[in-house]
Amino acid sequence: MKLFSTEGALYKFMMQFVDLLVLNFMWILCSIPLITIGASTAAAAAVTMKMAKDEESYIAKQFLKEFKRNWKQGTILWGMILLSAYALYLDVQILKASENPSLLVICMTMGLIFLMVICFTYSFALIARYENSIPNTIRNSMKIVMQYFGRTLVLLFSIALIIVVLNFTEVMIFFMIIIGPGCIFYTYGYFCRQLFERIEKEQSL
């Protein structure tokens, strides 16, 4: 039957599901030291951008290759995110401690959230696909967010939806653990690959 053949939809779905399981395991394993989360995330972005075009078949091997290649920049980006998150945490604590928080503090908190979004949304995908400095990578992420703000909102909403769905019940939380990050990275990689190819095409005209 065609359904169960190697060219059938069921076979392709199962192979992709297994690939996501492997990707999920590799990301969790390589993120255990915590300081390596940035490099793991860059590696996952690189692998999923290739998966989006069926260009990758050896997930674990390619993940380790990309992990090594993006180790330095991924770690730096992760450190910057942690610092930004800590600053945001302090702002939130100030808001909680204030009975009547000032408009300035509220604006600072919202501004910091927006700054984190525009600086880091595409940064890991950019270092995974292109050779560039950290400052230029962040600037390019900011440009992409502002130029394709609607697409960015769709990306962020899609990721948020996956997180909500996979945390809806105790059973779904189990799936969140074994495949959640893989699904999130595949969604991220698919969106970024489509967007980057569009930008590359526009710049070549």
What's residue 4's pLDDT? 52
Tokens coding 90: 């302090």
**Rounded-to-integer distance, Cα 54 and Cα 57, Å:** 8
Mean pLDDT value across residues 91-118: 83
**Rounded-to-integer distance, Cα 109 and Cα 113, Å:** 6
pLDDT category at 152 given cuts 50, 70, 90 is: very high
Quick: pLDDT tens for 195-204.
999 999 888 6
What's residue 6's pLDDT? 58
Full-model pTM: 0.87
DSSP result, 107-164: HHHHHHHHHHHHHHTTHHHHHHHS---HHHHHHHHHHHHHHTHHHHHHHHHHHHHHHH
Quick: pLDDT tens for 29-41.
999 989 999 999 9
What is the percent of the chain where pLDDT is above 70?
91
pLDDT at 108 over 60: yes
**Rounded-to-integer distance, Cα 6 and Cα 95, Å:** 57
Mean pLDDT value across residues 170-186: 82
**Nearest residue to 116 via CA among 159, 64, 81:** 81
pLDDT at 44 over 90: yes
Mean pLDDT value across residues 127-145: 95
**Rounded-to-integer distance, Cα 180 and Cα 192, Å:** 18
Most confident of the following: 9-18, 101-110, 111-120: 111-120
**Rounded-to-integer distance, Cα 158 and Cα 46, Å:** 19
What's residue 41's pLDDT? 96
